[in-house]
């Protein structure tokens, strides 16, 4: 796909700043045609979903968590237990609490105005499509797919949401964080001159592992331990490092054109850890030949660094809060919780009848990370056109509990690009 065909950025650039102005003006109540109370449904009631429901309730007046759904009853019950007693904004009766494969359909059909999609990312394209088809506004966690087919579906849904006047905000929360917004505005206004290079990092130790229970089928185990299986989680360059790659795309106002990389699995090698890598290092080339280097790892006992660094002809910025060079800057504004602010901005845009739509933007950032994974798994240079044209479908069309072999661990040079 050409760069042009995939760069409908005009409406993406409206961003949170425009919404903040609407909120400040106070002119948004009821304007979106919604009843006083905005009813919200949660799909995926794990750690982030439960917190996102909380963030949503904290963000705005007249919102109600109205329905919840998860694949697993025990997780659903745990999340309901966590949210119970939080106040009147939590109002999920037993008949609006669902579990099973069609829980998302039941949440969407429960009379909600908006859904929070917080399952593992493999399911996101399916759930987003169902939500947009049903005319629901969406908050969706990043990443938004694990393969090119999923990305194309998300882009289609995002474009349809725009036609229908529905809002989509994504969980790339740095885009709603005061310090990042102010610093990035200055970068875009030329404070560091022309960008000539950047570095992005998400280096940390290992994550959680759930011990397989005798009653779990292969599929149940892989979904419960989704971060270790690319078909449902995308691998950590996609699942976690997307945050920093998204900042690079934001600074560059573009997605990378090609990528090379190296990676592997050295310290997290046990069978319980599926087939994903524990480290990646990529070189992304952006328009104008600008090189963005990227590192991410999940290796216990190694150094941690989660950051970005943007280098320009007139200065250097950490993208978040400071600029050093011709135009020195240090952010001293508000430090509102970005996990709350993203819901504030989303709901204000819905009420204003000026829906934010971050669907294509987050699809591009997810695809950039997928391109990095493809480069590292295969050891080949991968262009944007190759990545978007990839026929590799990781996420099955239908999933049911049963046997499922663990995908082979990729070996650069032997694993073929598909
Ligand atoms: N923005 C951030 O900073 C941030 C932080 C953490 C996680 N996340 C993202 O949030 C998402 C969820 O992560 P998490 O940490 O909450 O994981 P989790 O495992 O705690 O929760 C995921 C939940 O989804 C449920 N689920 C799986 N498949 C389902 C399906 N088909 N239908 C309904 N429910 C299903 C699981 O049972 C589980 O309860 C991921 O995409 C992750 O990348 C974002």
Q: Does the C-beta of 46 come closer than 6 Å to ligand 1?
A: yes
Q: Do residues 193 and 59 share a domain?
A: no
- Contact at 8 Å (CB) between 45 and 74? no
CA dihedral 363→393→373→142, nearest 10 degrees, is 30
N-terminal to C-terminal alpha carbon distance within the chain: 16
Q: Do residues 329 and 196 share a domain?
A: yes
97 is written with which tokens?
A: 């609490």
Q: Do residues 47 and 129 share a domain?
A: yes
- Contact at 8 Å (CB) between 93 and 121? no
Half-sphere exposure of 151 toward its Cβ, with a 13 Å CA cutoff? 29
Q: Do residues 212 and 146 share a domain?
A: no
Its domain, for residue 140, covers 12-173+338-358
The answer as to whether 394 is a domain residue is no
Q: Does the C-beta of 146 come closer than 6 Å to ligand 1?
A: no
CB neighbour class for 402 (10 Å; exposed up to 12, middle 13-18, buried from 19): exposed
Choose which residue among 54, 67, 103, 120 to substitute to test ligand 1 binding: the one with the highest number of ligand atoms within 8 A of its C-beta.
120
Q: Does the C-beta of 222 come closer than 6 Å to ligand 1?
A: no
pTM of the full predicted structure? 0.93
CA dihedral 263→267→272→275, nearest 10 degrees, is 10
Cα(154)–Cα(167) distance, rounded to whole angstroms? 14
Q: Do residues 199 and 163 share a domain?
A: no
Q: Do residues 234 and 377 share a domain?
A: yes
Instruction: For residue 202, give the CATH number of its domain.
Output: 3.30.360.10
Q: Do residues 327 and 377 share a domain?
A: yes
Mean pLDDT by 10 residues, the chain (418 residues): 32 38 38 78 98 98 97 98 94 98 98 98 98 98 98 98 98 98 98 98 98 98 98 98 98 98 97 97 98 98 98 98 98 96 98 97 98 98 98 94 97 98
Angle among Cα 13, 129, 55 to the nearest 5 degrees reads 60
User: What pLDDT score does 33 carry?
Assistant: 61
User: What pLDDT score does 32 carry?
Assistant: 59
The answer as to whether 417 is a domain residue is no
Cα(19)–Cα(25) distance, rounded to whole angstroms? 10
The answer as to whether 289 is a domain residue is yes
Q: Do residues 192 and 311 share a domain?
A: yes
Among 409, 383, 400, 371, which residue's Cα sits nearest to residue 147? 371
Q: Do residues 32 and 66 share a domain?
A: yes
Instruction: For residue 26, give the CATH number of its domain.
Output: 3.40.50.720
CB neighbour class for 328 (10 Å; exposed up to 12, middle 13-18, buried from 19): exposed
Angle among Cα 381, 386, 392 to the nearest 5 degrees reads 105
User: What pLDDT score does 18 carry?
Assistant: 40
Q: Does the C-beta of 41 come closer than 6 Å to ligand 1?
A: no
Q: Do residues 157 and 27 share a domain?
A: yes
The answer as to whether 241 is a domain residue is yes
Q: Do residues 224 and 165 share a domain?
A: no
Cα(27)–Cα(196) distance, rounded to whole angstroms? 41
Among 152, 173, 94, which residue's Cα sits nearest to residue 342? 173
Q: Does the C-beta of 43 come closer than 6 Å to ligand 1?
A: yes
96 is written with which tokens?
A: 């609006």
76: part of which helix (H) or strand (E)?
A: helix 73-83
What size, in residues, is the chain? 418
The answer as to whether 406 is a domain residue is no
Q: Do residues 193 and 276 share a domain?
A: yes
Cα(323)–Cα(321) distance, rounded to whole angstroms? 7
Q: What's the total number of domains in the chain?
A: 2
């Amino acid at each position: 796909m050409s760069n042009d065909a995939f760069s409908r950025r005009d409406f993406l650039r409206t961003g949170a700043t425009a919404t903040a102005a609407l909120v400040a003006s106070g002119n948004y109540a009821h304007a979106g045609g919604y009843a006083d109370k905005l009813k919200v449904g949660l799909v995926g009631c794990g750690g982030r979903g439960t917190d996102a429901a909380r963030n949503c309730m904290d963000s705005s007046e007249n919102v109600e968590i109205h329905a919840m759904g998860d694949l697993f009853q025990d997780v659903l019950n745990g999340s309901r237990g966590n949210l119970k007693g939080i106040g009147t904004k939590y109002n999920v009766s037993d008949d609006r609490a669902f579990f099973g494969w069609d829980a998302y359909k039941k949440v969407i059909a429960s009379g909600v105005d908006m859904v929070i999609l917080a399952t593992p990312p493999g399911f996101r394209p399916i759930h987003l499509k169902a939500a947009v088809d049903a005319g629901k506004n969406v908050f969706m966690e990043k990443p938004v797919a694990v393969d090119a087919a999923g990305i194309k579906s998300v882009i289609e849904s995002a474009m349809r949401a725009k036609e229908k006047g529905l809002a989509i905000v994504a969980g790339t929360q740095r885009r709603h964080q005061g310090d990042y917004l102010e610093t990035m505005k200055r970068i875009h206004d030329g404070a560091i001159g022309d960008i000539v290079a950047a570095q992005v990092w998400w280096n940390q130790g290992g994550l959680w592992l759930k011990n397989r229970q005798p009653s779990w089928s292969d599929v149940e185990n892989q979904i419960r331990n989704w971060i270790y299986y690319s078909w449902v989680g995308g691998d950590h360059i996609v699942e976690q490092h997307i945050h920093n790659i998204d900042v690079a795309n934001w600074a560059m106002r573009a997605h990378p054109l090609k990528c090379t990389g190296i990676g592997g699995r050295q310290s997290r090698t046990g069978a319980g850890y599926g087939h994903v890598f524990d480290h990646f290092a990529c070189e992304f080339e952006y328009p104008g030949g600008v090189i963005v280097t990227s590192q991410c790892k999940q290796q216990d006992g190694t150094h941690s660094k989660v950051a970005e660094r943007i280098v320009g002809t007139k200065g250097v910025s950490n993208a978040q809060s400071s600029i050093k060079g011709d135009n020195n800057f240090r952010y001293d504004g508000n430090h509102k919780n970005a996990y709350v602010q993203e819901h504030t901005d989303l709901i204000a845009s819905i009420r204003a009848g000026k829906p934010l739509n971050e669907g294509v933007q987050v699809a591009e950032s997810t695809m950039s990370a997928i391109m990095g994974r493809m480069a590292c798994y295969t050891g080949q240079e991968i262009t944007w056109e190759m990545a978007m044209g990839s026929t590799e479908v990781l996420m099955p069309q239908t999933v049911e509990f049963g046997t499922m072999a663990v995908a082979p661990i990729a070996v650069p040079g032997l694993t073929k690009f598909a």
